């Protein structure tokens, strides 16, 4: 490897965010901004059909799926569509309020984990990367101490 | 008039936003003591609960550690179950620091009561304190019904902690840990396989890989591997071939 390449990330993680609220795309991008090794490539789409098309064209390591997508779809309809498209990576269900019995069936619909949008920070992302993508993709956020 | 109306609308909008922010903060800070405790299904859910406990008690970092070994053989990276750090950070601590001088770990190994550890001057009682900004940390001993010993480390609180607060935090930590034992740790003592687990054994016995099983069951490979790990623990077998052989002998699959 040449010296010019030595500072390049050793691996790359591609995350797809499916959320019909564009402001969430920006917020999520900011939360991932501190991660550099591995580098995180973020794809953002607003609906499940576009997400399925995205999967056909790009390799994706993990999906963060907003619970409610227009028109009136929830994870019970959207997550199976991602699995039907052949995606076998982790799917995380996100919502502004992830509490309540309503979400208890998430494993039955091919979802791997759930987390409230306000709970997502550098610590949570680090844990998620380690837990669901393995240590090869685990990162310490640049703004973490040490 | 228009400006006034707009001003009022903006004022109301801010009030609504602030109310939502406050309610979100309140919800997060009590996540670990509400109904979500009983809804926790996987390690991610427990990460959220322990993080909620840490945040509510003004600590910036946490780590649930297993105390199965003596201080000399303790490894931060391998014996931290759930934590707010990257494993590579813990691996670095293993390389750089003498674990026998870690005060909270020594406290957990030798004491059955929660302890407060405060950094004074440049000397850190634990290298884990490098990760938190505050000078106070707490070590809470936890035990399973099978007498396996664990400890919860809460790190990075500015200022001290009162006896009442320590009692409250320790009580809440014990409740979360009890649930963690019931949902996650006690699997080692279970032998019955769920319908989904039997389905997975059957597909494995037919020669399917994890990726193929994931596609057939419409799950992630992570979930398939997680199910497999659970089955291996329940059946006390060492690999997939052993799992299939034991399942056939036990009549779980034909």
- A107-134 pLDDT per residue, tens: 999 999 999 999 999 999 999 999 998 8
Q: Identify the weakest region by mean pLDDT among A138-142, B147-151, B164-168.
A: A138-142
Burial of A39 (0-12, 13-18, 19+ CB in 10 A): middle
Instruction: Calculate mean pLDDT across residues B55-74.
Output: 87
Q: Categorize the per-residue pLDDT at B97 as very low, low, confident or very high, splitting at 50, 70 and 90.
A: confident
Unique residue bearing structure tokens 């001088």: B101
Helix %, strand %, coil % for chain A, to 5?
Answer: 40, 20, 40
Residues in chain B with CB shorter than 8 Å from the CB of A59 are: none
Smallest CA-to-CA distance from A75 within A50, A108, A109, A107 is with A109
Tally A–B CB contacts below 8 A.
Answer: 105
d(CA A90, CA B114): 37
The pLDDT value given to residue B13: 52
Q: In angstroms, what separates the C-alpha of A113 from chain B's closest C-alpha?
A: 6
Tell me, yes or no, if A127 comes closer than 8 A to chain B by beta carbon. Answer: yes
Q: Where are the domains of chain A?
A: 13-138
**Residue A12: is its pLDDT beyond 50?**
yes
The pLDDT value given to residue A106: 95
Smallest CA-to-CA distance from B197 within B237, B222, B234 is with B234
Instruction: Give the chain B residue nearest A91 (alpha carbons).
Output: B220
- Rounded to whole angstroms, what are the CA distances from B35 to A53, A95, B29, B197? 38, 17, 13, 27
d(CA B89, CA B76): 9
Q: In angstroms, what separates the C-alpha of B1 from chain A's closest C-alpha?
A: 31
Q: What is the ipTM metric for this complex?
A: 0.86
Smallest CA-to-CA distance from B124 within A120, A54, A145 is with A145
Instruction: Calculate mean pLDDT across residues B191-211.
Output: 92
Mean pLDDT of the residues in chain B: 86
Q: In angstroms, what separates the C-alpha of A134 from chain B's closest C-alpha?
A: 9
Unique residue bearing structure tokens 């059957």: B202
For strand B61-66 and strand A62-66, is the pairing parallel, antiparallel, or unpaired? unpaired
Residues 53-92 on A with a CB inside 8 Å of B are 80, 83-84, 86-91
Span A33-56, pLDDT tens digits:
888 767 899 999 999 999 999 999
Q: In angstroms, what separates the C-alpha of A116 from chain B's closest C-alpha?
A: 9
Find the chain B residues whose C-beta atoms sit closer than 8 A to any C-beta of A: 24, 27-28, 31, 34-36, 39, 41-45, 47-48, 51, 61, 82-89, 92, 130-133, 211, 214-215, 218-223
Tell me, yes or no, if A38 comes closer than 8 A to chain B by beta carbon. Answer: no
* Contact of B210 with B224, CB cutoff 8 Å: yes
The pLDDT value given to residue B30: 79
Tell me, yes or no, if A126 comes closer than 8 A to chain B by beta carbon. Answer: yes
Q: Which two tokens stand for residue A140?
A: 């310490």
Span B19-64, pLDDT tens digits:
554 455 444 567 888 889 999 999 999 999 999 999 999 999 999 9
Instruction: Give the chain B residue nearest A122 (alpha carbons).
Output: B84
The pLDDT value given to residue B14: 52
The pLDDT value given to residue B27: 47
CATH number, domain A13-138, options 1.10.10.410, 3.40.50.1370, 3.40.50.2300, 3.30.420.10: 3.40.50.2300
pLDDT top residue among B88 and A131: A131
Smallest CA-to-CA distance from A137 within B86, B95, B80 is with B86
d(CA B127, CA B94): 10
Span B219-241, pLDDT tens digits:
999 999 999 999 998 998 999 99
The pLDDT value given to residue B28: 52
Span A72-116, pLDDT tens digits:
899 999 999 999 999 999 999 999 999 889 999 999 999 999 999
The pLDDT value given to residue B18: 52
Of residues A83, A107, A146, nearest to B41 (C-beta): A107
Is A116 in Cβ contact with B84 (below 8 Å)?
Answer: no
Is A118 in Cβ contact with B51 (below 8 Å)?
Answer: no
């Amino acid at each position: 490897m040449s010296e010019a390449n030595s500072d390049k990330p050793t691996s790359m993680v591609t995350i797809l965010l499916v959320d019909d609220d564009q402001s969430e795309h920006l917020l999520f991008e900011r939360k991932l901004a501190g991660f550099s090794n591995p580098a995180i490539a973020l794809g953002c789409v607003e609906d499940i059909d576009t997400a399925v098309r995205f999967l056909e064209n790009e390799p994706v390591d993990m999906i963060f799926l907003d619970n409610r997508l227009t028109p009136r779809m929830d994870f019970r309809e959207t997550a199976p569509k991602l699995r039907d498209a052949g995606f076998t990576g982790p799917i995380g269900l996100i919502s502004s309020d992830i509490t309540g019995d309503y979400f208890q069936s998430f494993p039955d619909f091919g979802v791997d984990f759930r987390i409230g949008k306000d709970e997502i920070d550098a610590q949570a992302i680090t844990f998620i990367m380690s837990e669901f993508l393995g240590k090869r993709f685990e990162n310490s956020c640049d703004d973490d101490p040490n | 008039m228009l400006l006034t109306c707009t001003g009022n609308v903006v004022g109301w909008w801010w009030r609504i936003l602030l109310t939502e922010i406050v309610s979100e903060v309140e919800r997060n800070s009590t996540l670990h003591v509400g109904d979500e405790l009983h809804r926790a299904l996987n390690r991610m859910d427990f990460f959220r609960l322990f993080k909620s406990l840490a945040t509510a008690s003004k600590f910036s970092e946490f780590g649930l550690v297993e105390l199965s070994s003596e201080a000399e053989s303790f490894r931060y990276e391998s014996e931290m179950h759930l934590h707010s750090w990257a494993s590579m950070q813990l691996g670095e601590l293993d390389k750089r620091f003498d674990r026998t001088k870690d005060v909270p770990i020594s406290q957990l190994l030798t004491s059955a009561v929660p302890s407060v550890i405060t950094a004074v001057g440049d000397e850190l009682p634990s290298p884990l304190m490098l990760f938190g900004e505050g000078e106070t940390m707490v070590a809470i001993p936890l035990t399973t019904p099978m007498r396996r010993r664990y400890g919860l480390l809460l790190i990075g609180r500015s200022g001290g902690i009162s006896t009442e607060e320590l009692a409250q935090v320790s009580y809440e930590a014990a409740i979360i840990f009890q649930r963690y034992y019931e949902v996650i740790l006690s699997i080692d003592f279970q032998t019955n396989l769920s319908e989904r687990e039997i389905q997975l054994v059957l597909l494995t016995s037919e020669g399917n890989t994890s990726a193929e099983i994931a596609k057939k069951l419409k799950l992630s490979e992570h979930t398939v591997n997680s199910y497999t790990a659970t089955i291996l623990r329940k059946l006390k077998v060492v690999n997939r071939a052993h799992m299939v052989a034991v399942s056939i002998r036990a009549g779980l699959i034909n």
